[in-house]
Structure 1
Amino acid sequence: MTTILIIEDDMAIHSLLKESLELNEFQTLSAYSGTEGKLLFKQSEIDLILLDLMLPGMNGEEFLQEIRLNSAVPVIVISAKNDQESKLELLMNGADDYITKPFDVKELLARISIQLRHATKTSVNSMEEMQYQNIYINLDTREVKINEETIHLTGREYAILLLFLENPQKVFSRANIYESVWNEPFFDSDKTINMHISNLRNKLNIADTNYIKTVWGIGFKFD
């Protein structure tokens, strides 16, 4: 059974999330602070995290930063912050999706389904490992190494890297990347894709090689 960790200190919202998820046959674990969430994450097999930001003790941003050091588990941030800068900053720091309060439960369930479907698709279709020049990926553990040095990618960055490695030299438009990785029609601005590509480039730069080439007027390719 799929296990979702809810980290939310508002009792009413937490209860709503827990009830809605369990009605849809998800197993849930409950945490009411970032510190408690971190402990449960270490002790349990978690498939997805729903994360509030304004938490007692360790806040949501700190929690996200901690788990992204060694895990690519999907994280959906649920927050009252609705400005574009906050959303982009959270996505840059490792969130896989972002939904603002108040939220529609059906929309949230759809977003959860997309994240889980993508994670399952990656697992089912994968070999045990993949290597391209000096980039090595263990597809079971999702560990990525360059020249034997581990690099830590978010779920989106990992999915984009796999897309490129499975199709070297192929030119992808921003819409191609979005629809392949997000598994939904492209309706966002170019900023989202550009941000993820920029972050991935920076993390791959430890090899002193510019793997991701910009094809002006079209998109990107991996070379």
Structure 2
Amino acid sequence: MSNSKVLIIDDDAKFSEKLSAVLQDNGFDVEQSYSSEEGLIEAKMSHFQLIMVATILPALDGFFVLEKLRKQSDIPVIMLCNRDCEQLRLEGYRKGADDYLVKSFSFTEIMVRIQTLLRRTLGVPFSQSEKLECNGLMLQKREQLVCYDNKNIILTPIEFRLLWTLVDSRKQVLSKPYLYQIVLDRPFKPFDRTLDMHLSRIRKKLVEIGMNGDCLRTIHGKGYRFS
């Protein structure tokens, strides 16, 4: 996914510049447009792997841009909004958006979500590695084997996928909505404790083979991290 080309359509120049810098630091080729008309022209002129468009734009809003894009392409589109609103999210999804992000998101999360979206749309496997190692912990994907200090533990398929996802993105905080979609393959619901239950079981099994349970950390209000 390195050198994938991204178009940001947003009249908030300060935000757009900051997001562009983060994407460029992660190897993306970024173009910026500050109006809906300019963005649509740019989208037709160049080949992009991803377009990020603000819901609020001068003259024609982001949903108009989304509708126009969908008439000419199935390119992945992420909508950017100033506030979290179910009505806006649903409108975006109905009109063909692939994801929806409030501008208060962490740039760590946006990078993970962009990478996941591009892996899916470009046909790149979630992780090309068959083996992960971190702090003495070793995971083998094919055998779904987890080993630490020459001791093996048995995880369910969901537990293994959850641990693999966290270790693969170690030191990054992964949000609950992201993990629900990637690991459980369903949308997150605020009162659903399924993910917490799986994490608790994984922690217990890791402690049983001598690891510190704090390696799986809950970051209050943000998500989870392996460190």
TM class by shorter chain equals 0.5 to 0.7
- Given that 1:33 and 1:59 are in contact with CA atoms closer than 8 Å, whether structure 2 keeps it comes out as no
Tell whether 2:48 aligns with 1:49. Answer: no
Tell whether 2:120 aligns with 1:118. Answer: yes
Structure 1 residue ranges without an equivalent (≥5): 123-178, 191-223
What RMSD over aligned residues (CA atoms) do the two structures have, in Å?
A: 2.1
SS at match of 2:63: helix
Structure 2 residue ranges without an equivalent (≥5): 125-177, 190-227
Aligned counterpart, 1:26: 28
Alignment of 1:190-205 (within 5 A): none
SS at match of 2:104: coil
**1:183: how far off?**
4.3
- Given that 1:81 and 1:100 are in contact with CA atoms closer than 8 Å, whether structure 2 keeps it comes out as yes
Residue identity matched to 1:36: E
**1:81: how far off?**
3.2
Alignment of 1:56-75 (within 5 A): 56-75=58-77
Alignment of 1:6-21 (within 5 A): 6-21=8-23
Name the CA distance, whole Å, in 2 between partners of 1:101 and 1:119. Answer: 23
Name the CA distance, whole Å, in 2 between partners of 1:189 and 1:93. Answer: 21
> Is the radius of gyration larger for structure 1 or structure 2?
2
**1:92: how far off?**
0.9
Name the CA distance, whole Å, in 2 between partners of 1:115 and 1:37. Answer: 21
**1:3: how far off?**
0.2
Alignment of 1:66-215 (within 5 A): 66-121=68-123, 183-188=182-187
Name the CA distance, whole Å, in 2 between partners of 1:110 and 1:88. Answer: 22
- Given that 1:8 and 1:14 are in contact with CA atoms closer than 8 Å, whether structure 2 keeps it comes out as yes
Flag the 1:15–1:189 CA change in 2: closer, same or farther, 3 A.
closer
- Given that 1:2 and 1:47 are in contact with CA atoms closer than 8 Å, whether structure 2 keeps it comes out as yes
Per-residue CA deviations over 1:98-134 (Å, capped at 9, x if unaligned) read: 0112111011111100111011118xxxxxxxxxxxx
Name the CA distance, whole Å, in 2 between partners of 1:83 and 1:58. Answer: 20
Residue identity matched to 1:80: N
**1:184: how far off?**
4.3
% same residue: 30
Residue identity matched to 2:40: K
Aligned counterpart, 1:2: 4
Output the TM-score relative to the length of structure 2.
0.55
SS at match of 1:81: coil
SS at match of 1:69: helix
SS at match of 1:99: strand
Per-residue CA deviations over 1:63-118 (Å, capped at 9, x if unaligned) read: 00001012110001110131212111111111000011211101111110011101
SS at match of 1:68: helix
Aligned counterpart, 2:37: 35
